[in-house]
A and B are shown apart, each in its own frame.
Chain A
């Protein structure tokens, strides 16, 4: 097709993509500045930060109760961090294992990947049934945590697999050949060089776990995580305080991304010659 025709079509597609990507967020952000008497829709009766104050308990008591997110936020953050540590560690170790071909490596690969492709509702339900049968109490730090790892581990694994794929093995061999043990070689040579990948794997694990819904729904027991709590408030009536919280949690995510970007920049600077060496070959 000619560029003359293709260009406007792609332009419109791109604009629509951006609109649907950011539109919902922007609407929410705008509505979060609704006045005290306003509802979760337009028009804005009065611009204010009332709902942010309400969220933080800084407003005089009203008939609308505070969002019960304090505990669940803490739970979700703890769960996400636990998941990040375990999934990333497993991801690094498994990808390291896949660097040398072994028997049934194909089967193992798909077994790992299964964790991210099977529907969350099914796994959640299955886990609930299984824990019932085995008499295990469901909890966010037990059954839900296991499912979060099963779900995020494949992502961390795939990221690390891609990193190891273009990793120059001769650097490790150089270390071994200098008399440095495999363990020390991993700690002092391999790990610093794959660190950017590890950061990416951590970011994936954290964000996926932090807003995981379907698997957690069936397995977290009585103590709810943040996404479940927020969903729970929908069943009563929606007030703009949820939007205010949405804005805050989005800001938190952006901060996380910023930290990631800064760390990444540093790691890439430190390891720039990695690429230089490849070119030298």
Chain B
């Protein structure tokens, strides 16, 4: 049985605005799923529909096999963590965490034991009797997590929970979240607009754009094999080159571009009678001085270096192909020959076909 199942879920506002449409997803027990997309893509709306804060217009939501489409939020076995923590300002840390247990009909001793255990787990015991507003952002985030988890939900819903933290703290809490989820084995559904969070934390990513699901896959899948133009542009740093007239050979296809034929794996969104886009990951490309590059390598592109800089062990090149199109290339700074390349030098860039993805436009 799936922990969470969304079939054809959609949300249309009374004024006709479509926030989400045709959302299909099944989540296995204990899975960590991230909804990733730009702001306004419908990811938060979908999360709020799962929590019950937004009514759904189409489709069904099932939690542990039970249809909860019309169940009010307080009767759903979900617990939500908010970006702004949404702590109760008039309560102490202990009261905040114990709040959800008050209505569960536990004995005072049982309740205290549960709250004590989770406060201990989150390192909050020493703050138990303080008001939440006296604590730092990271501590407040932990209170919010403890409060949401102590009621033992089937699914924990997290709405950009790291958004209000600074970069360092975000990394710390991010690691804690991952460990926590592994330990508890609770299903996590996590909403974020930061691809690093989604790629680093989740078992599967749902990439969304304009209320639609663009791709569902493991972090590696959405990174290495984007299904659509949107995913190719949104995740990683891909060079996108337009092509036409694809010819399919098995799992691979090749297209004609202004810079020669480009071969790669193709996604379902590629259509043979329309513009095809070749997505080439910056870190999969190899760059060589034109003089040194004898005919080796697939998908060779000729150009000149237009920009060059290095950050630690990673070198970044911008290679201009024809004055309008340029590609970004990442290399290791170990290579002496490459580091000696200067702006204006003629170079050849190439990329193995199995790292190139051909997607349909739009």
Contact = CB atoms under 8 A, between A and B. Distances in A.
B148 interface: yes
B83 A270 contact: no
A173 B164 contact: no
Nearest to A101: B14
Interface of A: prevailing SS: helix
Interface in A266-281: 270-274, 276-278, 280-281
Interface in B47-98: 51-53, 72-76, 78-80, 82-90
A177 B100 CA distance: 9
B89 A274 contact: yes
A171 B133 contact: no
Interface in B181-224: none
Interface stretch (A7-15, A151-159, A181-189): A181-189
- What's the interface size class on A, roughly? 20 to 34
Given A173-B53, A179-B104, A184-B103, A277 B147 contact: no
A281 B83 contact: yes
Interface of A: 168, 170-171, 173-182, 184-185, 188-189, 192-193, 270-274, 276-278, 280-281
24 contacts: A173-B51, A173-B53, A174-B80, A174-B88, A175-B99, A177-B51, A179-B75, A179-B104, A180-B74, A180-B99, A182-B74, A184-B103, A193-B89, A193-B90, A270-B89, A270-B90, A271-B89, A271-B90, A273-B89, A274-B89, A276-B133, A277-B86, A280-B84, A280-B140
Interface in B140-193: 140, 144, 147-148, 151, 157, 164
A177 to B, nearest CB: 4
Nearest to B51: A177
Contacts of B51: 173, 177
Main secondary structure of the interface of B (DSSP, over half): mixed
Given A178-B151, A179-B74, A277 B103 contact: no
Nearest to A277: B84
A181 B74 contact: yes
Highest count of chain B CB atoms <10 Å: which of A174, A189, A281: A174
Contacts of A277: 84-87, 89, 133
B308 interface: no
Given A173-B53, A273-B131, A273-B132, A180 B100 contact: yes
Contacts of B134: 273
